[in-house]
Amino acid sequence: MIEKIGNEQKSRIAESIERGLAVLGIELGSTRIKAVLIDEDNNPVASGGYSWENGLVNGVWTYDMGDVQKGLQSCYRNLQEDVRNKYSIEIKELKSIGISGMMHGYLVLDKKGELLAPFRTWRNNITGDASEKLTELFRFPVPQRWSIAHLYQSVLNGYDHVAEISYLTTLSGYVHYMLTGKKLLGIGDASGMFPVDSEKKDFRKDLMDSFDNLVSGRNFPWKLKQILPEVLCAGSEAGTLTESGARWLDSSSLLRKGIPLCPPEGDAGTGMVATNCVKIRTGNVSAGTSVFAMVVLEKNLKKVHSEIDLVTTPDGHPVAMAHSNNGSSDCDSWISLFGEAAEALGGKFCQQELYNTLFKYALRGDKDGGGLLSYGYLSGEHVTGFSEGRPLFVRSAKSRFSLANFMRVQLFTSLCALRTGLDVLYEQENVQVDEIRGHGGFFKIPEVGQHLMAAATNTPVSIMNNAGEGGAWGIALLASYMAEKEKQKSLGEFLDSVFKGMIGKAIVPEQTDIEGFLSFFNRYHGGLPIEQAAVRFLD
């Protein structure tokens, strides 16, 4: 983000915004909706945000759909205020807009565009039967998070709403539909709904036929293709902002209709873009509320692995995704608790100072975390076989219980499910990754996040100068790419020109840190029966 700029540069940016040459990217993340405005050189020049939380309602992790519009409008209003304060102008026109959101889940609408069932997020692990049966039928990994698994589980459960489905989409697809009226999705987000063909850049027809045959006895009034979104690749035009869409986003009624939008994408795809990881043998890790690694493959995997999602880059290249549901949420809760204790003793500090101090303590701890053990399972964790979770901290009389060891373990444990999935790629598929690029809240204190992620993945880790902007900047770049007048560049070539000089120096893992993480990793897997007991006996 441009923090301190001269008057001349400020005037240039203001003129660019006033002429409608700026590009807007909005990402609906797990805990925050964020908007980033970029200039003609693809640099972030303003931002806005809105904090929100999912809730466990009747056993389902969900968001109220009314909060989607409320959050978007608040986020956009916050962006407008930032532009007004920095440049003394209003946003009325934009060159293009991009929408990104959490991938997967279940969001179904009827013919009137009304929600048929509570929105199920990626966090739900309640489709075990459907996931297993579809994986066997397709001979393709169908994780519990995927939209098709949720659809088939609804079929198996006999839910009445299934017969009324007119549109099955993701969160980004829903928002895009409300803004443009178009039922479509970027291929990266689409690949987390249903398997795609990377050659044809579309959902696999043979598997759609297999699904239709599977449910043929139910006499639904639809075929799968009819209720899925159209699939588009990066660079494609994906409709324009309607009058109602402009009002749905901008409550001030200043934003004009007719602005082109790029295909809506998932947070995995925008993470790849935000770290310039769309080429073969590149990889990135997004570490925040959830943690996932994306590796662009040289060739298809030899076997089906339940631990690995097969998705694509926003331009359709195959990607192996190792995903874990639980990242930093429990660690955030502990830090909040420590902050309360410090305030009770009269301490005065900002939240960033609190995080900086406690994260850096993690580097002072014993390499293996001093024998401590923690599970940040707020929800289930498919990689380790949990449909539910219970946050848990355990130590023995022999453990070295210190703040440094405690913080190291809190960060280590958020990476263990990820490493479990990566081991499948490393050891069973011989996948090669030259370097991992990180983004997300885990890397807000770079020297800590990079060191521990490098130890956990046994791979050099770098971060981008704009890593903190994350997926909102990534979708803004995709919107900018779509708006390019000359499309001779591939997405990878476009990003290379954007990222020139932005990639920081990679931190290479030290052997002692690698060994320390592996010691904790083995303790983590050995202690899983403790977590199972917690799920069984604690409500």
Whether residues 86 and 124 share a domain: the answer is no
Whether residues 79 and 23 share a domain: the answer is yes
* Helices assigned H by DSSP within 345-490: 351-361, 403-413, 416-423, 446-457, 470-483
Whether residues 289 and 222 share a domain: the answer is no
What domain range is 116 assigned to?
A: 104-169+194-227
525 in a domain, yes or no? Answer: yes
Whether residues 326 and 454 share a domain: the answer is yes
Whether residues 256 and 325 share a domain: the answer is no
| Number of structural domains in the chain | 3
495 in a domain, yes or no? Answer: no
Whether residues 395 and 538 share a domain: the answer is yes
3-state class of 123 per DSSP? Answer: coil
3-state class of 10 per DSSP? Answer: helix
In whole numbers, what is the pLDDT of the chain averaged over residues?
A: 93
Whether residues 73 and 95 share a domain: the answer is yes
Nearest to 47 by CA among 32, 61, 58: 32
Whether residues 396 and 458 share a domain: the answer is yes
183 in a domain, yes or no? Answer: no
For position 466, what pLDDT does the model report? Answer: 56
185 in a domain, yes or no? Answer: no
271 in a domain, yes or no? Answer: yes
Question: Residue 291 forms beta bridges with which residues?
Answer: 287, 324
Structural tokens at position 24: 């807007």
310 in a domain, yes or no? Answer: yes
Nearest to 391 by CA among 466, 328, 457, 444: 328
246 burial level (CB within 10 Å; 0-12, 13-18, 19+): middle
CATH of the domain at 534: 3.30.420.40
H or E segment to which residue 108 belongs: strand 107-109
For position 485, what pLDDT does the model report? Answer: 65
Q: How far apart are CA 368 and CA 371, in angstroms?
A: 7
Whether residues 377 and 432 share a domain: the answer is yes
- Report the 10 Å Cβ neighbour count for 497: 9
Q: Are 235 and 315 in contact (CB under 8 A)?
A: yes
pLDDT tens by residue, 158-207: 999 999 999 999 999 999 999 999 999 999 999 999 999 999 999 999 99
For position 444, what pLDDT does the model report? Answer: 80
Q: How far apart are CA 319 and CA 433, in angstroms?
A: 12
For position 438, what pLDDT does the model report? Answer: 87
Whether residues 23 and 130 share a domain: the answer is no
395 in a domain, yes or no? Answer: yes
Structural tokens at position 417: 């499910």
**Tokens 């939380």 belong to which residue?**
53
179 in a domain, yes or no? Answer: no
For position 1, what pLDDT does the model report? Answer: 46
Whether residues 213 and 324 share a domain: the answer is no
Whether residues 364 and 426 share a domain: the answer is yes
Q: Would you write out the chain's pLDDT as a tens digit for each of its 539 residues?
A: 445 677 888 999 999 999 999 999 999 998 899 999 999 999 999 999 999 999 999 999 999 999 999 999 999 999 999 999 999 999 999 999 999 999 999 999 999 999 999 999 988 889 999 999 999 999 999 999 999 999 999 999 999 999 999 999 999 999 999 999 999 999 999 999 999 999 999 999 999 999 999 999 999 999 999 999 999 999 999 999 999 999 999 999 999 999 999 999 999 899 899 889 998 888 988 888 889 899 999 888 888 888 888 999 999 999 998 989 899 899 999 999 999 999 999 999 998 899 999 999 999 999 999 999 999 999 999 889 898 999 999 999 999 999 999 999 999 999 999 999 999 999 999 998 888 988 778 888 878 999 999 999 999 999 876 555 678 999 999 999 999 866 668 999 999 999 887 777 899 999 999 999 999 999 999 999 999 999 999 98
